[in-house]
Chains A and B, each alone.
Chain A
Amino acid sequence: MRFIASAVLALLATLAGQSYGADGSDLPSPAALAETMMLARYSAGFEARMRISSVGPDGKQSTPFKVAVVGQIDSQRERLAISGISPPSIRDHSYAAERTADGRIRVIEYGARLPADLLEIEPTTRVFDSALVVWDMLAPWWHWPKQISGGVDHVDGRDCQNIRSVTNAGTPPIPEVVSCVDAKTRLPWRTQLFDRQHILLRTISTRRTMRMESGAVAVRRLTIADADRTVTDVDVYSGDEHYAISAATFAALDYAHPAAGQAAP
């Protein structure tokens, strides 16, 4: 069952990617590749369940936890809902995120009782104190207009093509991302996020992949290494490529922003 865990991956844009149909000798331009990465995440609804464990800078392992990530991504909207499954301390504890019309990432943290337990938070908030960041999960850098080729690289013995995505628009929390994308599967083997001073904030590495029922290859396991030396392992153990999105799934976003919710098609 764990095998189906589809979209996760679509989810961590880092991950998802459908075969582009081109081989290494016929590489698309960085902009075209970025668009492919963006399109590859499109889904009418997916769910991925993942087990997340972190080791802090002091070498201490924090209590592992499980979350379910539900997503809906198309040309009109990009929305994610992340809900705690276990342990009990995170159950009924959720995050919802969306990409707004102006390209900003908006994140809501909420509890069981809506709309009472609802709070808009920083998009770079870590999910339950792990190195997993909501902003990264929406991979907004594929929308940025400036995509620069960084040449061919090798990550863990696998070939990939470096793409540097840069933006100056507004005050994005992360202005520069370098992804090393596999030319064949269009999976990023490694994604590095930098701050304004070009200091590396964290690196997301794909460890294992899986083939989904649709034929697309998705990430099964990944590691996030934070600059503060926290290392987080994300293991997708279950999922659904065709998750039925309900009215309640993204209700938190609508409560926080009723107008936006009504405006959505």
Chain B
Amino acid sequence: MNLFGFALGNLYRRPARSSLTIAAISLGVASIVALTSIAWGFEASWQRANDARGTDLIVTRLASENAMPSPFLADKLQATLKGYPHVQEVVGLLSEMLSVGDNAPPVFVFGWEYRSYLWQHLRLIDGHLPANDTDADIVLGSLAAELLHKKVGDSVEIEGRQFLIRGIFDSPAVVENGAVVMTLTLAQQITDKPGKVNILNIKLDDHASDSVIDDFKTRVRETLPGYLAITSGELVRKNAVVRISKAMSNATTLIASLVGALVVFNTMLMSINERTREIGLLLALGWQRQTIVKLIVSESVVLSLAGGLAGILIGIAIAGGLEHVELMRGKIEAVFSMPFLIAILGLSVVLGVAGGLYPALKAARMLPSQALRQE
């Protein structure tokens, strides 16, 4: 038996309390893991959607901090931007969250300019892309098709109009997999926004360097008041949902950490109060005070580490489960990274040390003769 074995034994001999403490910590850690992975996943998914489209820059309204920027008339702006150096294509995109059919949860409906480069990254699983700009044809992301129980040849009702499903596609971005895509003209018709887009996607030629991108942004800022040119990554980071979900995950981390540390603190304080005589004995046997501190902190770290490990597993399960809930499918995607999970374990250790330190110091300060007299 060594110090660690003794610490484990001390936890083992109070199974109910140890399990409850581990459960409390694991729930906190699980909520951190689930929320953070979803927040990151959300960002990564939007980022991938933009990257996959091959978009180098996005031009949008200045005050756009909503999920999607507000619509604006594209014509003149599009012509102006086409004249910028290294610009290959300027493509309008209109996006709305709309219900498709009765009693179905709302999905993203994207309108992309017909025959633009945006369509190229879709991998068709079945059927075809829309054959022309104005026929009431749409394509569905694979997840959307599954959610809506639709296949090629079926029709769906969007904003009071019937559309024929011409194709089903797979996209690298979960946002698109859960979406309906139609031509921009159709999207403008059904939402009664003729000539309007939310964003303009800019594709630059292969010679465009970072400085070209910077010049482009500066030029838009200086010559097109009310508009903003940003990279897709910047747009995603400005996205209100991404920001809110990140803020929520940060707040959860803070609260769960505080609660976790308090739970450990309470458990260890109770534990040393019950073991006063035992600690007195150990001191009388010649245990040094730092050994007592090591013992109590080891116990609290074991508790928080066990809670952390269990919490990571539960958090992964919760996030995975949420991805498959009808309402959430195709809208969220959890992203886990090894450094993040290791950081969570690190956080668990910090919680253990933070929660166990005061009780440990209190135990180490006991006077052995008094502690031994305690009943």
Contacts and interface: CB of A to CB of B under 8 A. Distances in A.
B157 interface: yes
B63 interface: yes
B258 interface: no
A98 B214 CA distance: 50
Contacts of B339: none
Interface in B175-223: 191-196, 198
Contact of A4 (B66, B98, B157): B66
A221 to B, nearest CB: 15
B109 to A, nearest CB: 9
B71 A240 contact: yes
A238 B194 contact: no
Contact of B70 (A4, A49, A91): A4
Interface in B70-107: 70-73, 95-99, 102, 106
A3 B97 CA distance: 10
Interface stretch (A81-89, A166-174, A183-191): A81-89
A237 B98 contact: yes
B61 A86 contact: no
Contact of A238 (B73, B160, B191): B191
A216 B102 CA distance: 32
Interface in B143-196: 157, 159-160, 191-196
A85 B194 CA distance: 17
A240 B98 contact: no
Tier of interface size on chain B = 20 to 34
Contact of B160 (A2, A66, A241): A66
Given A4-B66, A4-B70, A66 B159 contact: yes
B259 interface: no
Contact of A47 (B72, B102, B192): B192
A201 interface: no
B204 to A, nearest CB: 27
Interface in B42-74: 61, 63-64, 66-68, 70-73
Given A237-B97, A240-B196, A4 B71 contact: yes
Interface in A223-238: 237-238
Most buried by A among B68, B71, B106, B195: B71
B96 A1 contact: yes
B157 A86 contact: yes
Nearest to B62: A213
Given A1-B198, A4-B70, A240-B196, A85 B159 contact: yes
A88 B61 CA distance: 35
Overall SS of chain B's interface: loop
Interface string A158-186: 00000000000000000000000000000
Contacts of A1: 66-68, 71, 95-97, 191, 198
A68 B96 CA distance: 15
A238 B64 CA distance: 15
Contacts of A2: 96-97
B308 to A, nearest CB: 38
B266 to A, nearest CB: 35
A68 B192 contact: yes
Given A68-B192, A86-B160, A3 B96 contact: no
A244 interface: yes
Interface string B97-131: 11100100010000000000000000000000000
B72 to A, nearest CB: 8
Contact of A241 (B70, B98, B194): B70
A62 to B, nearest CB: 13
Interface of B: 61, 63-64, 66-68, 70-73, 95-99, 102, 106, 157, 159-160, 191-196, 198
Interface of A: 1-4, 47, 49, 51, 66, 68, 70, 84-88, 91, 213, 215, 237-238, 240-244
| Pairs A-B, 10 closest by C-beta atoms | A86-B160, A1-B96, A85-B160, A3-B66, A213-B70, A4-B70, A91-B160, A213-B63, A1-B68, A85-B159
23 contacts: A1-B66, A1-B67, A1-B68, A1-B191, A1-B198, A2-B96, A4-B70, A47-B193, A49-B159, A49-B191, A66-B160, A84-B160, A85-B160, A86-B160, A87-B160, A213-B63, A213-B70, A237-B97, A237-B106, A238-B96, A241-B70, A242-B72, A244-B73
Given A1-B95, A51-B99, A86-B157, 20 more contacts: A1-B66, A1-B96, A1-B191, A1-B198, A3-B66, A47-B193, A49-B191, A70-B192, A84-B160, A85-B159, A85-B160, A87-B102, A87-B160, A91-B160, A213-B70, A215-B63, A237-B106, A238-B96, A240-B196, A244-B194
